[in-house]
A and B are shown apart, each in its own frame.
Chain A
């Protein structure tokens, strides 16, 4: 029998930004972004604060409209036909709130009805989703009494209801405790049979669950490739460590660390941590440790960072 070609549902899920632009007055949040991610995989979406990650994701979900260009899901322009574009796409943007007087079961039931999950399947889908985020025993309590982390678990559950082909997650671990973050990572890893587009500031999380990364800064795409290729191309020689301090790191300490022999670059990853890139070799590493200890600035931990962190620091020179 002649091959009739692939059935329609074998076409790969995709997200595509075509000259996607968003401006607010004179400020350009996203500038002519061209990006196409396609296939069943997890793609990390990285960039510093204010880089345009959330703005891009909001344009993909109809929360805001592009100033120019288009955001397409499965080839359908979200601005022109949001309903069709999001028919097989689940989203979690920022940290949504749920109507406080509803229970998780009711809130998820509302989404099931909106998304067209068959009436006979709804209970099973909701049970499964709540089970995955460990919220089964809270299914009949009002959401208004929940902590931020519990609400975020329900939000994560909401993305699993309708068996979507594409899932857009904007920092899904926000507000979760360490166990919750680990559980979300496991959930995302389990979604390998669909396209997951996930923004995160946690590079270790992205390294663990994603196969590819797209990095943007100042609204422009810097790179989109597999993590291996990005690491190989941009991590450069040498290594990097994350140094933890007992107190907030001030600019003076950061400057002193930057002056240590062999140090190539220093960036603050949060109030009490510096990420330091240094020349290759154990001698440089030894000098760095001695130098930091000699500063007596309250350094309490040294941790090797991943190649993705090196690439990130190499590509993104400054943060807001």
Chain B
């Protein structure tokens, strides 16, 4: 028989666009998109109200602080995070990646939507990529909404131009989103249960990587170059002026930390900060490796009852 006369094979690129379009439509109309939007708006409203009411120094700077420093300080606190806490932008990225990517593939198995889409003349890779783009578009909208609200606040307190460091930070946050989505898609390919894949994604990105970073730096004294959250640190670091040093070592005496050498009995801790190129390399590496892994898992995975 071969291919029937008149039955045309559609190019994979066109099929990716089709899958993206309809998956985005599905996302856009689904409750979770609006729940995510509501979460972001809630964070933004709280942030705006607290800064407006309490006028914290961490956000608005001390009187007499140079304007350029104060502006960066505001964006650092509202967007980039301060004092080692998880930044708001990272929280938005992680929640978006988990919400839109956590069950993107596992849902095809658990919810049986894969039985509608997969047995068609389309490669599984086209489905995977199409769904990934749809999740990226939906997550990007959420990230941009949050960025616009932060910028609105920034312009209210510091009228004038938005610092270029914030623009860079926004770009880095988006790169982090790309990598985080790739990671959550890989988890989604690994599990058949949607709730497990979402939960695993959140736990990993929100807690596990952070703990690994701390243990690696403070206990083992090793730079956590293998951690996605360490790489994502550039989102905050770019909003610090001057850019933090790559390695800072502090002596804490004998009570805490580790002995650096037998010749130096004082206990020390090392804090590492990824440089911009290093951070980008880590994020891009995470994207590439987890994209390949997730795609391979999805292509190999079987639709068994």
Residues of A within 8 A of B (CB): 7-9, 11-14, 24, 54, 58, 61-65, 73-76, 82-89, 91, 93-102, 106-107, 109-111, 113-116, 142, 155, 158, 162-166, 168
Considering the complex, give the chain B residue whose CB is closest to the CB of A166.
Answer: B1
Q: What are the 3 A-B residue pairs with the smallest beta carbon separation, nearest first?
A: A74-B1, A96-B115, A61-B119
CB distance from B123 to the nearest CB of A (A): 6
A9 lies within 8 A of B5 (CB):
yes
A106 lies within 8 A of B22 (CB):
yes
B26 lies within 8 A of A86 (CB):
no
Question: Which residues 1-26 of B have a CB within 8 angstroms of A?
Answer: 1-10, 14-15, 18-19, 21-23, 25-26
A182 to B115, CA, bound (A): 24
Given contacts A87-B7, A106-B25, A142-B29, contact A94 B1 (CB under 8 A): no
- The segment from B197-205, B242-250, B259-267, B297-305 that touches chain A is B297-305
A295 to B230, CA, bound (A): 78
B115 lies within 8 A of A162 (CB):
no
B25 lies within 8 A of A74 (CB):
no
When distances are taken between beta carbons in the complex, the residues of chain A under 8 Å from B55 are: none
A110 lies within 8 A of B303 (CB):
no
A62 lies within 8 A of B26 (CB):
no
Given contacts A58-B303, A165-B1, contact A116 B113 (CB under 8 A): no
Q: Is B68 an interface residue (CB 8 A)?
A: no
A130 to B194, CA, bound (A): 31
When distances are taken between beta carbons in the complex, the residues of chain B under 8 Å from A94 are: 112, 115, 305
B4 lies within 8 A of A110 (CB):
no
Question: Would you list 18 pairs from A and B whose C-beta atoms are within 8 A, ordered by A residue?
Answer: A7-B5, A62-B119, A74-B3, A74-B4, A76-B3, A86-B121, A87-B9, A95-B112, A95-B115, A98-B116, A99-B22, A99-B116, A106-B22, A113-B18, A114-B122, A116-B121, A142-B29, A164-B7
Considering the complex, give the chain B residue whose CB is closest to the CB of A158.
Answer: B116
Given contacts A11-B2, A75-B2, A165-B4, contact A83 B9 (CB under 8 A): yes
Q: Is B118 an interface residue (CB 8 A)?
A: yes
Residue from B3, B22, B303 in contact with A87 in the complex, judged by beta carbons closer than 8 Å: B3
Interface residues on B, range: 35 or more
When distances are taken between beta carbons in the complex, the residues of chain A under 8 Å from B305 are: 54, 94
A73 to B1, CA, bound (A): 8
Residues of B within 8 A of A (CB): 1-10, 14-15, 18-19, 21-23, 25-30, 111-123, 302-305
When distances are taken between beta carbons in the complex, the residues of chain A under 8 Å from B27 are: 101
When distances are taken between beta carbons in the complex, the residues of chain A under 8 Å from B123 are: 82-83
Given contacts A114-B10, A116-B8, contact A99 B23 (CB under 8 A): yes
A236 to B25, CA, bound (A): 57
B119 lies within 8 A of A91 (CB):
yes
Residue from B1, B21, B30 in contact with A101 in the complex, judged by beta carbons closer than 8 Å: B30
A89 to B111, CA, bound (A): 24
Given contacts A98-B113, A101-B26, A102-B25, contact A110 B5 (CB under 8 A): no
A87 lies within 8 A of B4 (CB):
yes
Given contacts A94-B112, A95-B112, A116-B7, contact A12 B1 (CB under 8 A): yes
CB distance from B295 to the nearest CB of A (A): 15
A89 to B3, CA, bound (A): 9
Considering the complex, give the chain B residue whose CB is closest to the CB of A24.
Answer: B304
A110 lies within 8 A of B1 (CB):
no
Considering the complex, give the chain B residue whose CB is closest to the CB of A151.
Answer: B116
B121 lies within 8 A of A84 (CB):
yes
CB distance from B251 to the nearest CB of A (A): 58
A86 lies within 8 A of B10 (CB):
no
A73 to B7, CA, bound (A): 14
CB distance from A105 to the nearest CB of B (A): 11
Given contacts A97-B115, A101-B29, contact A13 B304 (CB under 8 A): no
When distances are taken between beta carbons in the complex, the residues of chain A under 8 Å from B302 are: 63-65
A83 lies within 8 A of B122 (CB):
yes
B15 lies within 8 A of A96 (CB):
no
A107 to B21, CA, bound (A): 11
A204 to B14, CA, bound (A): 43
B1 lies within 8 A of A97 (CB):
no
Considering the complex, give the chain B residue whose CB is closest to the CB of A162.
Answer: B7
B22 lies within 8 A of A110 (CB):
yes
A177 to B111, CA, bound (A): 23
Given contacts A62-B119, A99-B113, contact A88 B3 (CB under 8 A): yes
Considering the complex, give the chain A residue whose CB is closest to the CB of B5.
Answer: A9
B112 lies within 8 A of A84 (CB):
no
When distances are taken between beta carbons in the complex, the residues of chain A under 8 Å from B30 are: 100-101
A283 to B52, CA, bound (A): 97
When distances are taken between beta carbons in the complex, the residues of chain A under 8 Å from B22 are: 99, 102, 106-107, 109-110
A8 lies within 8 A of B121 (CB):
no
A275 to B280, CA, bound (A): 70
A229 to B10, CA, bound (A): 42
A96 lies within 8 A of B1 (CB):
no
